[in-house]
Structure 1
Amino acid sequence: MTNDSHRRTLIVTNDFPPRQGGIETFVRELADRFPPDEVVVFTSSPDPTTAASAPDGSFPYPVIRHRARTLLPTPRATAHAASVARQYGCDRVWFGAAAPLGLMAGRLRQTTDIRTVVATTHGHEVWWARTPGARTLLRRIGAQADALTWLGTSTRRPIEAALAPGTRTARLVPGVDTTVFRPGLDGGPVRDRYGLGRRPVILCAARLVPRKGQDTLIRALPWIRRAVPDAVLLLVGDGPNALELRQLARTEGVLDSVVLAGGHPHHALPSFYAAANAFAMPCRTRKRGLEMEGLGIVYLEAAASGLPVLAGDSGGAPDAVREGETGHVVDGRSVAATADRLTRLLRNPELARSMGEKGRHWVQTEWTWDLSYTTLKGLFHSAGSAQ
């Protein structure tokens, strides 16, 4: 058995910077915790015209980009992943998102020195688990992996139901860097940039897509403003619903109190949390349960920043909030419930502050990237020992 310190892990993923999102953050943060000479990333290219043969020099470890905007388990992409594994002497692989890239596992085992496979699920795999053809593919991914990970009970149950008996699964959750996301930062520049002044700010940082519930927040804003007349909603993120949300704000008569700030890189988010009084993302499950929230790392970042959090009851989102202690969980389609909880938080700063303090303590003790990295390394070690 090779000494653990001499092993190298291949990370295969579509979700990696410069792409932005929760899974991208998940994969990047764990990749950054490996010693640079013990990890190599194989991912897609934001620009397929750039050379894919040279490592991306923006990172302290090798990042090899395949010539495709979306990496799929095609023979060509799998062969490229195998060549990277051989070139860098990798003997283990972590699929940052199990479906569909985990389908590469069998071929990588056959053509490289890779012997240990861990694949991570985030939430979209629930759709795979509940769809007949995709369910078969997810079952195959589970059979080829030494461990398939899940975020929480809401995603674990349907995913495990699709797997063959005996498939090993384990919990692997995202974390937060509480030295970066913390109270006491200066939110003044964000308030100045968007003309927020000293108004109470409700922040939502998420892609502008129906599942995230920004429309519920806009519909709730007139109700909130009856009790908190100067309240403002700050929406951070890009997505296909931007124009629709702007029109909804106009229809609801709150266009002057809804700020669509567009997308921002992850490192810019702490200043947005610092400018807010409460965080809200009333996500909801869609498409008859096939589309749900996996967890919602933004809830944890907001809590670490000292904010009270309002989450929707979709998928694993409730796992990121302690109801009544660090925030509230509501029906993401209920305008009334959303408005009621946010009004209470804005009108009671002491309650909001208490929830924020409890939320930060919870994140510091149970939701750190170092803990997640230790879990991932432990999965590789136990799987390797069992072989």
Structure 2
Amino acid sequence: MKRLVLLSYDYPPNNGGIARLCGGIVRELKGRSYPYLVVTNVRSDHSDSDNVVRISGKRGILEWRILKFLRNNTTNDDIVLCDTWHPAGFLSLLSGRDTYILCHGAELMSGKGFFKKHIKPVYRKWVLNHCKGAIANSQYTERLISSLDKNIRSTTIALPVDSKLFHPTKTKNTTDNILRVCTISRIEKFKGHDFVLKTIASLPKTYQSRINLTIGGKGPYLEELKQLTEMLNLNSIVQFKGFVPEQELCDFYSSNDIFILCTREEPNNHHVEGFGLVFVEAQACGTATIGTNAGGIPSAISDGNGGWLIEQDSSSKLMTLLKKLIDDKEYAQSQGAVARLRVLKECSWAEYMEKLFAFIKTY
């Protein structure tokens, strides 16, 4: 049995999407008694098992230390799974080991400036061409990989959710006619919170008085979003929750009737939702979701099956949908149960690991 070496620059205790994915992979490997080793630069105040090696150093020195460690402490029989193509994927290739790379979306786009527009694409293409396989989190991300070079070996494996960690913990309110809607993300403009607020503000007053929106998260666009809320006179129906700790996420999702995140796809600004793990987390908690038909979101939401997809910035489509859900709150809540059943079937960790092993073993 080959050992899987996870090389990650984003690993617990970090709690972003990539870190949680990498942490979940290790948890599953451990549960299956599969031989593994984690190599990361992320510090931790907690003691690790012997299977986790944390390497420190300034940029440049850090990379040299990681490369030296890989060459001295792994063998040609090991498989290296990298959290991103740069720098992890590049270092793994330099070590001479069989390299597989997790791909997320935005990091595959060309940015602004000479280096990001002309040099980095060549570098990125070289790395992905020389790895044994690229693992996309959505069909959208796999299309980005193919656009670099159709010869890059790739597959799509939708991101999983831990249904034991994310599950309904609150009973939804059935005693009034208020549709409770929530959203959570890093608060940036391309996440589309402004679009949602403006659409709600455009609802007839009879509908506007029957909806409540709770916004979770922090970020550079937060203060501007609060000002927009005040300007649109929505303070009475919009609440800002701030940072929501992981142990409170289930309550946050499951106490609401609908989760919404209308992210925009902005390739020129390097902005895209490669998958949208929050959609799957909300559905696992029994809450139906609304998202845009942009980026990798369609891989996280099955339209009409526990969720709905609308076109980017289509206020008329969102308004029509919100009216329908406000008028039939029971239907909105019932779709949450449908969403959870779908996630349990299609987005389990067992399914993810089975597909991951199959892709690696078929090379």
TM-score range, shorter-chain basis? 0.7 to 0.9
The residue that corresponds to 1:298 in the other structure is: 278
Match of 2:22 in 1: 27
Counterpart residue number, 1:170: 155
Alpha-carbon spacing, 1:350–1:365, altered in 2? closer, same or farther (3 Å): same
Residue 329 (1) aligns with residue 309 (2):
yes
Matches of 2:345 and 2:194, distance apart in 1: 33
Deviation at 1:247, TM superposition (A): 0.9
- Partner of residue 180, structure 2: 201
> What amino acid maps onto 1:118 in structure 2?
Y
Q: Pairwise mapping of residues 20-99 of structure 1 onto structure 2 (< 5 A)?
A: 20-35=15-30, 38-45=35-42, 56-57=46-47, 61-67=51-57, 74=60, 76-83=62-69, 86-87=72-73, 91-99=78-86
Amino acid aligned to 2:179: P
2:320 alignment partner, one of 340, 365, 368: 340
Distance in 1 (alpha carbons) for counterparts of 2:148 and 2:51:
35
Shift of 1:272: 0.5
1:312 matched to 2:292? The reply is yes
Counterpart AA for 2:52: P
Number of the residue aligned with 2:132: 146
CA distance in 1, matches of 2:57, 2:61: 13
Please list the CA deviations of residues 28-81 of structure 1 after superposition, one character each: whole Å capped at 9, or x if unmatched.
21121112772232333369xx8xxxxx5267942514345xxx6x46414325
Q: Distance in 2 between matches of 1:154 and 1:41?
A: 28
CA distance in 2, matches of 1:266, 1:38: 29
Residue in structure 2 matching 1:351, options 331, 334, 337? 331
Match of 1:276 in 2: 256
Letter in 2 for 1:139: K
Structure 1, residues 89-127: CA drift from partner, whole Å, max 9, x if none? 782211112244311122221xxxxx3211011111331
Deviations for 1:172-202, whole angstroms, at most 9, x for unmatched residues?
A: 221112223223x1369xx9xxxxx995321
* SS in structure 1 at match of 2:362: helix
C-alpha contact (below 8 Å) 1:9/1:40 kept by paired residues = yes
Structure 1 stretches of 5 or more lacking a match? 51-55, 110-114, 192-196
Aligned residue type for 1:105: S
Q: 1:20 to 1:344 in 2, by over 3 A?
A: farther
Asked if 1:212 corresponds to 2:206, the answer is no
SS at match of 1:256: coil
Q: Distance in 1 between matches of 2:245 and 2:13?
A: 9
The offset of 1:336, in angstroms, is: 3.3
1:11 is matched with which residue?
A: 6
Q: Which amino acid aligns with 2:37?
A: V
Provide the rounded CA distance (Å) in 1 between the counterparts of 2:53 and 2:209. Answer: 50
Q: Structure 1 residues 274, 312: closer, same or farther in 2, change over 3 A? A: same
Distance 1:371 1:66, change over 3 A: farther
Q: Which residue number in structure 2 is paired with residue 366 of structure 1?
A: 346
8 Å contact kept, 1:116–1:380: no
Contact in 1 for aligned 2:82/2:101 (Cα 8 Å): yes
Deviation at 1:88, TM superposition (A): 6.8
Q: Which whole-Å deviations, capped at 9, do the CAs of 1:287-310 have from their partners, x for residues lacking one?
A: 447421101111111122221210
The runs of 5 or more residues in structure 2 that have no matched partner are: none
Please identify, of 59-68 and 227-236, the stretch whose mean Cα deviation from structure 2 is larger.
Answer: 59-68
In the alignment, the residues of structure 1 paired with residue 118 and residue 49 of structure 2 have an alpha-carbon distance, to the nearest angstrom, of 40
Instruction: Answer yes or no: is the 8 Å Cα contact 2:55–2:62 preserved in 1.
Output: no
Q: Distance in 1 between matches of 2:282 and 2:36?
A: 30
Verify the 8 A CA contact 1:278 1:345 in the aligned structure 2.
no
The answer as to whether partners of 2:177 and 2:210 remain within 8 angstroms in 1 is no
Q: For 2:21, what is the secondary structure of its paired residue?
A: helix
CA contact (8 A) 1:214 1:245 kept: yes
User: SS state of the match for residue 30, structure 1?
Assistant: helix
**Contact residue 332 and residue 338 of structure 1 kept, 8 A:** no
Q: CA RMSD in A?
A: 2.9
Q: Is the 8 A contact 2:207 2:326 kept in 1?
A: no
Which deviates the most, 148-157 or 249-258?
148-157
Quickly say closer, same or farther: Cα 1:181–1:311, change in 2 above 3 A.
same
- When structure 1 is superposed on structure 2, of 256-265 and 244-253 the one drifting more is 256-265
Q: Is the 8 A contact 1:105 1:141 kept in 2?
A: no
Q: TM-score, normalised by structure 2?
A: 0.86
Q: Equivalent pairs: percent with the same residue?
A: 20
Deviates more, 1:124-133 or 1:8-17: 124-133
**Contact kept in structure 2, 1:187 and 1:273, CA below 8 Å:** no
Equivalent in the alignment of 1:124:
106
Counterparts of 1:226-245 in structure 2, within 5 Å, are 226-245=206-225
Change in CA separation of 1:156 and 1:42 when aligned onto 2, cut-off 3 Å: same
